[in-house]
Amino acid sequence: MNTDNYRKALERAMSICSKSEKCINDIRAKLNEWKLTEDNENNAIIKELVENRFIDEKRYATAFTRDKVRFNKWGKIKIKAMLKSRGINEGDIQHGLGMIDQDLYLQMIEEEIKEKNKSTRAKNHFERKGKLIRFASSRGYEQEYIFEIINKLKS
């Protein structure tokens, strides 16, 4: 074990984690990219970062969820898929999703669908409805909310 490289990698990882929320997968990828340490040393670095709360996956899931809803207007389905792809466990994902204000979330979905409806060109009502459903689904919104909002639009 090269203690100088280990220290260097640990300090760089701490610096990255102190600037923004990171998950274990993010840091593992960075450590592998730097090639300063070996796998067992990378695991030790990650363990140390978790113990010192530089990495907290529950905190990461909450911050990720908050940012994706606020800035990207993503739905819960897409957020959950992205968190799973980053190796976040189900409990932490549910904690993050639970922090979403349901009223604001539904309002956001409705605003996004209404805005898309204004710019959607379609030959008939069914084509428009299909386009809106595909748009909303691609954003990760839940089907029951999509159909409820789209059905309100035509009335």
Which region holds residue 56: left if phi is over 0, alpha if psi is between -120 and 50, else beta?
Answer: beta
Topology classification of domain 3-55: Arc Repressor Mutant, subunit A (1.10.10)
pLDDT of 34 reads 92
DSSP category for residue 99: T
pLDDT, one tens digit for every residue, the chain (155 residues)? 678 899 999 999 999 999 999 999 999 999 999 988 888 999 999 999 999 999 999 999 999 999 999 999 999 999 999 999 999 999 999 999 999 999 999 999 999 999 999 999 999 999 999 999 999 999 999 999 999 999 998 65
- Find out whether 9 and 36 touch, Cβ atoms under 8 Å: yes
Token pair of 76 as six digits: 């819960």
pLDDT of 13 reads 97
Provide the residue ranges of all domains of the chain, joining segments of one domain with +.
3-55, 58-98, 102-154
- Find out whether 24 and 59 touch, Cβ atoms under 8 Å: no
| 13 Cβ neighbours under 8 A, 6+ residues apart | 27, 30, 31, 45, 49, 54
pLDDT of 68 reads 98
In terms of Cβ atoms closer than 10 Å to its own Cβ (0-12, 13-18, 19+), residue 64 is buried
